[in-house]
Amino acid sequence: MCGVFAVFSPRRAIDQNHVIAGTQALRHRGPDGEGFYFHPRGHIALGHRRLAIIDPGNGQQPVTNEDGSIVAVVNGEFYDHESQRRDLQDRGHYFRTGSDSEAVVHLYEEHGVECLQYLQGEFAFVLWDDNRQRLFAARDRFGVKPLVYSQDASRLSLASEAKALFAAGVTAEWDAESFFFASTLQYLPTNRTLFRNVSALPPSHFLTATADAMRIQRYWELPVANQPSIDSAAPVDLKDIIEQCRQYLVDAVKCRLRSDVPICAHLSGGIDSSSVAGIASAILSRPIDTFNIGFDADIYDESNIAVASSLELKSKLHSVNVNSEDVLRSIPAAVAASEGLAINGHLSAKYLLHQAMRERGFGVTLTGEGADEVFFGYAHLRMDWNHSEEPGASTAVVGNQTSIGMMLPHGHSLSLAGVHRRLGFVPAWMKAKATLGWKIHQLLHPDVLKTFRNRDAFCEVTDQVLTNTAFTANVVTSRKLWTRLAMSGYILRTLGDGTEMPHSIEGRVPFLDHRLWEFLRNVSLGQQLSGQLEKAILRAAVKPFVTAKVHQRPKHPLDAPPVLMRDSASTDGYVRDYLHSDAMKSQPFFCVRKIDQILNQLQTAPDIERQAWDPALMMAMSVTEINRLISQSPTANCST
């Protein structure tokens, strides 16, 4: 895990000071070293901040091919690079380092942009091909590692984070249209950031640029479950599916255990992180250290289950206890680090979790993200399964009461008629976001709403994600929309990389191994969604690695207690003071008077109403901190 920076300026010489400043703004992503490449002609420059994970003593970047005509900076990990290295060496390639990152320049020599088909892992990189005078950048299939860019008439700049672009001279200012998406459905289109003239390279895409043009193309598509039900599929032996699934999971964890620095794992009370920790311990033949977040409200806290799992694994469990005051105190740092908007204190909680990992000497962590996407585990996905004998929808709702206001709808809603016309149904997660969006819209300045009154954010993101895609079942449509919008843009970017890298922690995600997804494409939905408990195939596959309690425990999302909990007077006062602060008044979107009215109404409102409004107020606090980030940037423009 590292920080990458690049500038391509074919018609004007690059200011090296800008490259140095942009790269140094990413020091938190790579505290172990710094490297640069400046082309003699002055039209291309690459910068790199290194977090030394593989070959710490000899893995400096940029990396080059044998004659220096291809040079690259890489963030993330390429797995199976040892076998690729042997194959490339047999073809005559010479490696200077033991780092996995060097493989990309030699694979590119062999295959050009098609080298992406040979890369397995979580990555973002920028590569310069001097012979073709071409810049080539790419991001991994799921968007685990970020890559953003800015383009003007004279240059193209790319970086791991927007703050590096600002340090290098890109103007820092809000993108009002992006905020329109965030305020309506929480998530941004895959090519957007919150900042004007700063775009995100979407997951599964690559970018090429020459002096004449820039082009962005997709190189991989999310696998689609082609079989709508077990009844219409060719018979497949379930035992064989489970055995193969177990092997894919073991392989995915095994390759992610390769590290020359201490490695640990997340461990909540759920089957996802417990599976990863259990498999890792079995592979290592020793317990892996684990980390858990503890909350001060029983319905949100999974500490007891995590303790029981750690005892069975004989793992050393590091518990990070987080209360409401901790959440509020950490919001400014967590939001600025992630460059994203949060709707719950889980952003602060994960920020503090990864801080604790670094303080205890770890550099890599395994996480359970992606399991609910690949195995259709979310309550909202099970609710969208259109099988005539759909199980579990009502029990899924009952078991996820902490998600009311975030992932379960509550109260008035924005219109979803346009989505229904396009799809013939409305994904359950969109129903929840439409009720959250309605609340957020009640708190905005009238002029903000007026600007976008004729836009339908839900339809626009649906059209973007589902371009040229045909589906056989509602749940498959919902999963693709969710995976591309929520998982890539929020779960992986804001809550994942955004809370890991401020502390120089590399997160690895076994459930987002693309080979597992491609295998499950041919398993029928009936088999994947059967049973009263979600993720039946996963539960069967990982039964040898988890406790009996975890194996039978329903899905419980990682949500922090609302900051508006009635039994915390000090927290309530802090929130009110924050939302009346000068910093809040200086942000351009939320109306403080409207927020004050809602806070007064919530004083006597039922607890469920306070819980449902909490995400909207957390959004307002996040906006305040992004506005602070913009205003403190060297090229700030706080107008919208």
Domain spans in the chain, listed from the N-terminal domain onward:
2-218
- Tokens at 488, concatenated: 């890539």
321 phi, psi to nearest 5 deg: -85, 130
* 636 DSSP β-pair partners: 172
Angle of CA points 18, 24, 29, to nearest 5°: 135
At position 462, the amino acid (one-letter code) is T
What predicted TM-score, i.e. pTM, was given to this entire model? 0.94
What are the pLDDT digits (tens) for 615-624? Answer: 999 999 999 9
* 216 DSSP β-pair partners: 207
Looking at residues 623-635, what average pLDDT do you find? 94
Q: According to the model, what pLDDT value does residue 390 have? A: 41
Q: What is the mean pLDDT of the chain?
A: 91
* 122 DSSP β-pair partners: 77
Flag whether pLDDT at 231 surpasses 50: no
Rounded CA-CA distance 442/601 in Å is 13
Q: Are 214 and 178 in contact (CB under 8 A)?
A: no
What is the share, in percent, of the chain residues with pLDDT greater than 90? 71
At position 49, the amino acid (one-letter code) is R
Residue the block writes with tokens 């506005």: 627
Flag whether pLDDT at 394 surpasses 70: no
Q: According to the model, what pLDDT value does residue 228 have? A: 44
Flag whether pLDDT at 569 surpasses 70: no
What are the pLDDT digits (tens) for 474-503? Answer: 999 999 999 999 999 999 999 999 999 999
Looking at residues 410-436, what average pLDDT do you find? 95
Length of the chain: 640
At position 410, the amino acid (one-letter code) is H
What are the pLDDT digits (tens) for 86-101? Answer: 888 888 888 888 788 8
Rounded CA-CA distance 382/392 in Å is 7
Tell me the pLDDT band of 209, cut-offs 50, 70 and 90: very high
What are the pLDDT digits (tens) for 133-153? Answer: 999 999 999 999 999 999 998
Q: According to the model, what pLDDT value does residue 580 have? A: 86
Tell me the pLDDT band of 266, cut-offs 50, 70 and 90: very high
CATH architecture of 2-218: 4-Layer Sandwich (3.60)
Flag whether pLDDT at 443 surpasses 60: yes
Count CA within 13 A, CB hemisphere, residue 154. Answer: 9
Rounded CA-CA distance 446/3 in Å is 40
According to DSSP H, which parts of 303-345 are helical? 303-313, 324-338
Closest CA to 315 of 546, 532, 22, 15: 546
What are the pLDDT digits (tens) for 168-193? Answer: 999 999 999 999 999 999 999 999 99
Rounded CA-CA distance 21/7 in Å is 12
At position 58, the amino acid (one-letter code) is N
- Tokens at 155, concatenated: 């240059």
Q: Are 525 and 387 in contact (CB under 8 A)?
A: yes
Please report the beta strands in 323-376, taking only residues with DSSP state E, as ranges in sequence order: 364-366
Q: According to the model, what pLDDT value does residue 533 have? A: 84
Q: According to the model, what pLDDT value does residue 181 have? A: 97
Q: Name which of 80-84, 119-123, 170-174, 589-593 the model is least confident about.
A: 80-84
Q: According to the model, what pLDDT value does residue 236 have? A: 64
Sheet containing 134-139: which strands, arranged edge to edge? Answer: 63-64, 70-79, 120-129, 134-139, 205-209, 214-218
Rounded CA-CA distance 200/191 in Å is 5
What pairing do the DSSP bridges indicate for beta strands 70-79 and 63-64? antiparallel
Compute how many other C-beta atoms are within 10 angstroms of the C-beta atom of residue 553: 19
Rounded CA-CA distance 568/108 in Å is 57
